[in-house]
Amino acid sequence: MAETTRSGFVTFVGRPNVGKSTLTNALVGEKIAITSEKPQTTRRAIRGIVNRPEGQLVIVDTPGIHKPRTLLGERLNDLVEQVLGDVDVIGFCVPANEKVGPGDRRIAASLDGY
**How large a percentage of the chain has pLDDT more than 90?**
62
Domains, the chain, ordered by start: 7-113 (3.40.50.300)
Q: Is the pLDDT of residue 4 over 80?
A: no
**How large a percentage of the chain has pLDDT more than 70?**
94
Nearest to 86 by CA among 3, 4, 13: 13
Nearest to 111 by CA among 22, 34, 12, 30: 12
Nearest to 59 by CA among 33, 41, 82, 36: 33
Local confidence band at 3 (pLDDT 50, 70, 90 cut-offs): low
> Which pLDDT tens digit goes with each residue over 38-75?
766 677 889 999 999 889 999 999 999 998 889 888 99
Residue 44 pLDDT: 80
For 35: left if phi > 0, alpha if psi spans -120 to 50, otherwise beta; the answer is beta
Measured CA to CA, the distance from residue 3 to residue 61 in angstroms comes to 30
